[in-house]
């Protein structure tokens, strides 16, 4: 290491120039990064729910669909319907595909002893005469098939479904869409929701967050370095280093073809803030060992060598913490681990080469700057803390035991999150539109229960007994509080039978079932929504129940636990009602997120265990002592355990973003303990009582430990400005955990060291 430092100082201009040149190259690589705003980017590599979706919905209609709900400002009028029809046509010209709406809907009227199919809207166009308008109102009042599909119960809300090909230029399409819908303003309040609009709004939030988070992180770091060192070189040189490290992170993302997601948007802020810790260690030692009068710059080499082990070990353990995410099932998490690790590694390398080279170009620090580091108020305060801790070591050791007890009591109560819509700003028009749809059309989440005939027996579901079995299951499920509506072939048959014969039952006569099934085919050809082809296949060997669900108490999405409970109930009820002959699958996009929640929980446990074991092995090898390896983990474990207690108390859930907190905290939080233990071993060799040893440790190590943590926490708290709650939670939890780890390093660790020293487990 000395030779590297000597080379850096001897050829400082070359070292500075080559690092800047390479960073400029990485800027061009970073410019290739693409945005990926789809939540599907967060899905695990293998997902049984996704496989079922591909099996039963290969066209992924829901992913290429959006919904427009129109609330009448006044009474229904011909003019409003005409404008509505015109807007539908213009939107279809814009997006392609097709639309399901009141103009495509079919109803039935009883004529004599038979049912006659009729368009819900006469001539399937907006009424142009009073007669057609009155006929439409009459159809609407009698119709049972369009209610809760195209019209709300109140009759005040129209619903429109748009199905379209994959759209790449979401910005242009959504902008034009909003211009088109301006025509509706005199007559309707318009609500829009759907994947297309969520993707576009997510892109906007990611772009905005990237700029805002980077800007405020830089401001916070600049202010922090000014307050910490009061010198220009201690402000702009560290900033240059962490910016270069950040550029390397983004450059690697560009070179490897990684995309910017809800997870990776925090990478620049992380690298900026974590990278400052390495520069702080170098700068603190630089000012502490400064020779006010010197003939050469060799003292800078010696100062750097005093902390090079700390920087190397800190960066190594941090990288190990991040790389533990490589063992997760989510590709976005693995990409996050690699990109951030590269930035951290570069920040450490630049701190040990670029920074000393740049500092050698300046004159020596002033006397007052050296004094502030060696004997300033902050330094003296750290010494006092160490003395108090040593004298009350039993008390602080008991505190650590209490933290352990709290963890085991609260960890089983950590909640999981699968409703990622709740992470969007709740005043976002797309979220408002989704809530409006849920409130007026009973349900925002949809499950599908697909039932297969034994041995694919033809026309199996045209048999009375078999249809009756399906009907009984449907009626049982409708009794569940959070099931709002069920659409199925059996329910349509009962509706048609009721219209024809006044009996809401499955007809016992096969001839009548066959007749009603022909009517069903008319409905089936008229629309793809509500009464749709996925209710039953052409040979009646497979039937599907579409189950609309939501939380009946607050009219919002079901929580992860609520959805899991309902899914288990549906599966249990299906097994009971259908018996052993019929096979079935429960599927739907919401089950993808449920599986994601389960995956996140397993991945979080796996990555945490791997990172802790790796850090323990590295620390034990470095210190050549298993005892010191274990001691390294004590502050970190106290921070992590308090983190989970904090999550339970605040109701913050475990999800794909907060899952990464422990891996990040392990990698970063262990740095302080390593720095402290390195100094503790040095002071043991110097000798003295345990109080004197700990006071010297606090005086020398306390200041940089506190400064690095405050710097990182200050930078990460900027994440509270993020648009998505998940990123906000990530910033808060990492900041809280690292703060607790710092306190553990400065209070709990010295207390345990003092106790072990008094028990002669540790000796001079």
Residue 606 domain flag: yes
Are 264 and 364 members of one domain? Answer: yes
Residue 111 has pLDDT above 80, yes or no: no
Are 71 and 129 members of one domain? Answer: yes
More confident residue, 182 or 148: 182
Are 254 and 384 members of one domain? Answer: yes
Residue 575 domain flag: no
Are 456 and 408 members of one domain? Answer: no
Residue 264 domain flag: yes
- Write out the two tokens for 16: 């500075």
How confident is the model at residue 531, as a pLDDT? 45
CA 758-761-763 angle, 5° bins: 80
How confident is the model at residue 450, as a pLDDT? 92
Number of independent structural domains in the chain: 3
Helix (H, G, I), strand (E, B) or coil at 542: strand
Residue 93 has pLDDT above 90, yes or no: yes
Residue 298 domain flag: yes
Are 622 and 734 members of one domain? Answer: yes
Are 71 and 109 members of one domain? Answer: yes
Q: Which domain holds residue 102?
A: 64-199
Mean pLDDT on 272-292: 71
How confident is the model at residue 528, as a pLDDT? 44
Which residues are registered as beta bridge partners of 584?
451
Work out the widest C-alpha separation in the chain, in whole angstroms. 113
Are 36 and 137 members of one domain? Answer: no
Are 363 and 471 members of one domain? Answer: no
CA 553-727-601 angle, 5° bins: 70
Q: 58-62, 261-265, 707-711: lowest mean pLDDT where?
A: 58-62
Mean pLDDT on 384-391: 79
Residue 414 domain flag: yes
Number of DSSP helices (H) and strands (E) in the chain, helices first: 26, 12
Are 601 and 702 members of one domain? Answer: yes
Summarize pLDDT for 612-665 with one digit per residue, the tens: 888 889 888 888 889 988 999 898 889 889 989 998 988 888 777 777 788 778
Cβ–Cβ under 8 Å, residues 108 and 496 = yes
How confident is the model at residue 373, as a pLDDT? 53
Are 603 and 710 members of one domain? Answer: yes
Are 288 and 344 members of one domain? Answer: yes
Mean pLDDT on 292-307: 64
Mean pLDDT on 747-759: 89
Are 161 and 240 members of one domain? Answer: no
Summarize pLDDT for 559-589 with one digit per residue, the tens: 777 788 888 999 999 999 888 888 999 988 7
Mean pLDDT on 54-81: 81
The label of the residue with tokens 């368009």 reads: 119
Where a domain ends, among 512, 532, 549?
A: 549
Summarize pLDDT for 174-207 with one digit per residue, the tens: 999 999 999 999 999 999 988 888 888 888 887 8
The label of the residue with tokens 């497979």 reads: 542
How high is the mean pLDDT of the chain? 81
What CATH number is attached to the domain comprising 288?
1.20.1640.10
Mean pLDDT on 529-541: 69
- Write out the two tokens for 142: 């009698």
Where a domain ends, among 199, 218, 238?
A: 199
d(CA 179, CA 192): 13
How confident is the model at residue 675, as a pLDDT? 80
Residue 345 domain flag: yes
How confident is the model at residue 303, as a pLDDT? 66
Mean pLDDT on 145-150: 73
């Amino acid at each position: 290491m000395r030779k590297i430092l000597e080379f850096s100082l001897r050829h400082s201009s070359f070292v500075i120039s080559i690092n800047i040149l390479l960073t400029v190259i990485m800027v061009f690589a970073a410019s290739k990064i693409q945005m990926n705003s789809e939540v599907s980017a967060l899905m695990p590599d293998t997902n049984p729910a996704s496989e079922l979706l591909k099996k039963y919905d290969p066209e992924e209609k829901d992913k290429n669909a959006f919904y427009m709900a129109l609330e009448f400002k006044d009474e229904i009028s011909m003019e409003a319907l005409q404008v509505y029809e015109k807007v539908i046509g213009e939107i279809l010209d814009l997006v392609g595909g097709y639309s399901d709406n009141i103009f495509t809907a079919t109803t039935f009227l009883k004529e004599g002893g038979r049912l006659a199919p009729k368009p819900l809207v006469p001539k399937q166009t907006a009424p142009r005469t009073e007669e057609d308008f009155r006929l439409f109102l009459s159809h609407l009042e009698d119709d049972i098939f369009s209610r809760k599909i195209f019209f709300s119960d109140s009759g005040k809300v129209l619903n429109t479904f748009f199905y379209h090909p994959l759209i790449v230029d979401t910005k242009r399409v959504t902008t034009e869409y909003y211009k088109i819908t301006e025509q509706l303003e005199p007559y309707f309040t318009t609500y829009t929701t759907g994947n297309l609009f969520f993707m576009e709004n997510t892109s906007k939030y990611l772009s905005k967050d990237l700029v805002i988070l980077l800007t405020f992180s830089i401001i916070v770091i600049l202010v922090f370095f000014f307050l910490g060192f009061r010198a220009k070189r201690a402000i702009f040189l560290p900033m240059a280093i962490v910016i270069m490290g950040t550029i390397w992170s983004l450059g690697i993302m560009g070179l490897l073809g990684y995309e910017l997601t809800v997870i990776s948007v925090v990478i620049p802020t992380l690298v900026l803030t974590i990278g400052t810790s390495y520069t702080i260690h170098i700068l603190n030692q630089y000012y502490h060992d400064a020779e006010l009068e010197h003939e050469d710059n060799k003292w800078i080499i010696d100062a750097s060598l005093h902390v090079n082990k700390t920087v190397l070990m800190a960066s190594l353990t941090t990288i190990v913490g991040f790389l533990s995410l490589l063992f997760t099932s989510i590709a976005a998490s693995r990409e996050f681990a690699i990109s951030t690790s590269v930035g951290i590694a570069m920040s450490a390398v630049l701190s040990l080469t670029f920074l000393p080279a740049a500092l050698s170009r300046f004159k020596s620090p002033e006397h007052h700057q050296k004094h502030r580091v060696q004997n300033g108020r902050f330094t003296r305060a750290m010494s006092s803390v160490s003395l108090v801790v040593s004298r009350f070591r039993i008390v602080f050791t008991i505190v650590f035991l209490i933290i352990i007890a709290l963890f085991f009591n609260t960890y089983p109560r950590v909640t999981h999150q699968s409703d990622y819509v709740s992470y969007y700003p709740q005043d976002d028009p797309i979220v408002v539109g989704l809530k409006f749809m849920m409130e007026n059309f009973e349900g925002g989440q949809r499950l599908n229960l697909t039932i297969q005939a034994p041995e694919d027996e033809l026309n199996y579901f045209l048999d009375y007994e078999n249809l009756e079995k399906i009907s009984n299951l449907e009626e049982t499920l409708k009794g569940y509080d959070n099931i709002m509506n069920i659409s199925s072939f059996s329910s349509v048959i009962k509706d048609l039978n009721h219209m024809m014969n006044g009996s809401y039952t499955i007809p016992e006569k096969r001839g009548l079932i066959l007749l009603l099934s022909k009517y069903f085919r008319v409905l089936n050809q008229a629309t793809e929504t509500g009464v749709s082809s996925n209710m039953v296949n052409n040979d009646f060997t497979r039937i599907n129940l579409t189950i609309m669900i939501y939380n009946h108490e607050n009219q919002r999405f079901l929580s992860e636990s609520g959805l899991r409970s309902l899914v288990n109930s549906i599966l249990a009820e299906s097994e009971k009602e259908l018996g052993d002959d019929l096979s079935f699958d429960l599927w739907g996009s919401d089950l993808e997120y449920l599986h994601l929640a389960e995956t996140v929980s397993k991945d979080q446990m796996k990555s945490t265990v791997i990172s802790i074991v790796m850090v323990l092995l590295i620390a034990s090898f470095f210190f050549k002592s298993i005892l010191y390896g274990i001691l390294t983990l004590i502050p970190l474990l106290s921070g992590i355990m308090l983190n989970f207690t904090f999550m339970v108390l605040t109701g913050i859930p475990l999800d794909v973003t907060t899952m990464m907190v422990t891996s990040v905290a392990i990698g970063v939080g262990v740095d302080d303990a390593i720095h402290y233990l390195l100094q503790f071993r040095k002071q043991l060799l110097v000798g003295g009582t345990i109080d004197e040893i700990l006071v010297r440790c606090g005086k020398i190590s306390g200041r940089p430990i506190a400064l690095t943590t405050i710097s990182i926490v200050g930078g990460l708290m900027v994440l509270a400005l993020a648009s998505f709650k998940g990123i906000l939670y990530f910033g808060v939890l990492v900041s809280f955990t690292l703060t607790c780890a710092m306190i553990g390093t400065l209070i709990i660790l010295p207390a345990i060291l003092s106790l072990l020293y008094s028990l002669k487990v540790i000796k001079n």
